[in-house]
Amino acid sequence: MSHNSWLAINRSRHEPRGTARRWRLQLETLEDRTVPAVFNVNTLLDTVDVNPGNGLAQDAVGNTSLRAAVMEANALAGADTINLPAGTYALTRVGANENGAALGDLDVLDSLTLFGAGRDSTIIAQIDAPISPATASSTTCPANDPNGSM
Ligand SMILES: [Ca+2]
Ligand SMILES: [Ca+2]
Ligand SMILES: [Ca+2]
């Protein structure tokens, strides 16, 4: 999912003109996590991520729920993507005024893209507001639906 280095080609600036160009390959260390995580939801159940921040959006039985995916995406710095297959995702974990996506609405705390299977196929059934972006750059809707719905 991530890679720590990037192959870079670097040419010395101090070469005299007219000489054969010499290219040197060098490894350049980048941030630990440069590739956005992609979570593929595989359950309709409203379950929580048992270990936010470990790179896996897994509930207690190892499934990836929408809520677990949002929790893990929040725990990982940077943009992430969640793929939602067709189905109705009923948010059943009641809890007003909770802002970590573990209860109630799905609090999106950083950049996140959700892809559904189409407006009439992927449905998030809400308790109150199903998704509450906490930042201006948060949620975008799927590219595969011209209406901009799930
Ligand atoms: Ca996790
Ligand atoms: Ca994130
Ligand atoms: Ca919440």
13-34 pLDDT, tens digit per residue, is 554 555 566 777 777 666 555 5
Ligand with the closest atom to the CA of 55: 1
Top-confidence residue, 52 or 135:
52
Distance (angstroms) between ligand 2 centre and the Cα of 108 equals 9
pLDDT of 74 strictly over 80: yes
**Nearby residues of 143 by Cβ (< 8 Å), 6 or more positions away:** 115
For 9-35, the three-class secondary structure string (H helix, E strand, C coil) is: EEECCCCCCCCCCCEEEEEEECCCCCC
Closest alpha carbon to 10 in 19, 1, 21, 20: 21
Q: In this predicted structure, what is the pLDDT of residue 45?
A: 97
Ligand 3 (ion): which residues have CB within 5 A?
98, 104-105, 107
pTM beyond 0.75: no
pLDDT digits over 33-65, tens only? 557 899 999 999 999 999 999 999 999 999 999
pLDDT for 36? 84
| Cα–ligand 3 centroid distance for 130 (angstroms) | 9
Mean pLDDT estimate for the chain: 79
Q: What is the pLDDT of residue 41?
A: 98
Q: Distance between CA 148 and CA 76 in Å, rounded?
A: 26
More confident residue, 138 or 49: 49
The neighbourhood of ligand 2, an ion, using CB within 5 A, equals 73, 76, 80, 110
Tell whether the model's pLDDT for residue 116 goes beyond 50: yes
Give residue 21 CA to ligand 2 midpoint distance, Å.
42
